[in-house]
Amino acid sequence: METKKRSLLKTITWRSFVFLYWAVFGYIATGSFTNAGIFGLASIIPTFFYYVHERVWNKVSWGRS
């Protein structure tokens, strides 16, 4: 089982990558740092849901050996 701290760190690092991706994509797509920031910030909103998803799956024993 993973600790809550590990799940939280995984969530933060994953969201950091996603934020960077969307910020870069937003800039390429729009040519504007303002719009790129909006894309990036919108990618952070699901962080809470991902963390809860991680914690629930941590309790599921299916597929583990």
pLDDT tens readout for residues 27-38: 898 898 888 888
More confident of the two residues 16 and 65: 16
Q: Taking a C-beta distance cutoff of 8 angstroms, is the pair 22, 46 a contact?
A: no
Instruction: Please say whether the beta carbons of 27 and 36 come within 8 A.
Output: yes
Q: Is the pTM of this model over 0.85?
A: no
For 22-42, b/e burial (b = at least 16 CB within 10 A) is bbeebbeeeeeeeebeebbee
8-61 pLDDT tens trace: 888 888 888 888 888 888 889 889 888 888 877 777 778 888 888 888 988 888
pLDDT at 65 over 80: no
Identify the pLDDT of residue 25. Answer: 84
